[in-house]
């Protein structure tokens, strides 16, 4: 199973996938890692791991649809079976979703459909819920919407700040992403042997 991973930031979820592949625990090929801006640590990690990288810089485009088209083309060039949005902080166009129909996987640091959007951790704390968590789901053209694959709860403690809570969620999120990819890879392999 070939995957392309899209990142915008530090890429610790991506690192968990790289580590699992390198340890022989995850039978997938990371065909490439792409970013929406130059200089992300996620791309740096990928280069260090010998993975191909590309940047489709959002700020280099005046027209959002042109950026979307360029991103779609860049990802499609790697013919991925699954595209993973791993801390990729851009909303992609319906054309991108169509091009990777049923193949675009997203992770989100909250229990969807609660607290979608860029501040899922902050919004859960502000609401005052006592339990939040993370979600791995197939993404559609909405903001953090689409069929849910896996979720796990994380308790919010009185002493939590947004950062401490997000770090605890990310520990669970990394494990959930790797295990989801492992089961997708197993299904992919089984489908190929039929
Ligand atoms: C993750 O919690 C992801 O769900 C959210 O941003 C975080 C990215 O973390 N959208 P990292 O870049 O993988 O460290």
CA of 102 to the centre of ligand 1 (A): 21
The encoded tokens of residue 65 equal 């649809």
Q: Does pLDDT of 185 surpass 80?
A: yes
Active-site residue list: 108
State which ligand 1 atom lies nearest to the alpha carbon of 89. Answer: 10
* pLDDT tens readout for residues 6-21: 999 999 999 999 999 9
Q: Percent of the chain having pLDDT more than 70?
A: 99
State which ligand 1 atom lies nearest to the alpha carbon of 8. Answer: 12
Q: Where are the domains of the chain?
A: 2-193
Q: Ligand 1: which residue has its CA nearest to atom 8?
A: 87
Strand partners, 5: 33, 84
Is the Cβ atom of 132 under 6 angstroms away from ligand 1?
no
Summary mean pLDDT of the chain: 96
pTM given for the model? 0.95
| Angle, alpha carbons 30-149-71 (nearest 5°) | 45
Q: Ligand 1: which residue has its CA nearest to atom 6?
A: 87
- Sign for the pseudo-dihedral over CA of 152, 30, 5, 105: negative
State which ligand 1 atom lies nearest to the alpha carbon of 166. Answer: 2
Q: At the fourth CATH level, which superfamily is domain 2-193?
A: Formyl transferase, N-terminal domain (3.40.50.170)
Q: Ligand 1: which residue has its CA nearest to atom 1?
A: 87
| Angle, alpha carbons 51-9-125 (nearest 5°) | 140
> Which residues, 6 or more positions from 16, have their beta carbon under 8 angstroms from its beta carbon?
174, 175, 177, 178
Task: Tell me if 97 sits within 8 A of 139, measured CB to CB.
Answer: yes
| Secondary structure percentages of the chain, helix, strand, coil, to 5 | 40, 20, 35
* pLDDT tens readout for residues 34-82: 999 999 999 999 999 999 999 999 999 999 999 999 999 999 999 999 9
């Amino acid at each position: 199973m070939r995957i392309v991973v899209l990142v915008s930031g530090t890429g610790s979820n991506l690192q968990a996938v790289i580590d699992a592949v390198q340890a022989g625990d995850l039978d997938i090929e990371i065909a490439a890692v792409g970013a929406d801006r130059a200089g992300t640590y996620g791309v740096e990690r990928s280069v260090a791991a010998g993975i191909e990288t590309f940047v489709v810089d959002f700020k280099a485009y005046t027209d959002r649809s042109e950026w979307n088209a360029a991103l779609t083309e860049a990802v499609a060039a790697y013919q991925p079976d699954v595209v993973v949005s791993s801390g990729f902080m851009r909303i992609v166009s319906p054309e991108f979703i169509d091009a990777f129909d049923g193949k675009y996987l997203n992770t989100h640091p909250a229990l969807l459909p609660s607290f979608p959007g860029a501040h899922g951790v902050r919004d859960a704390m502000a609401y005052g819920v006592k339990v939040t968590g993370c979600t791995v789901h197939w993404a559609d053209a909405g903001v953090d919407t689409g069929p849910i694959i896996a979720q796990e709860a994380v308790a919010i403690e009185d002493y939590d700040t947004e950062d401490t809570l997000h770090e605890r969620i990310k520990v669970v999120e990394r494990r959930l992403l790797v295990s989801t990819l492992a089961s997708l890879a197993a299904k992919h392999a089984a489908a190929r042997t039929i």
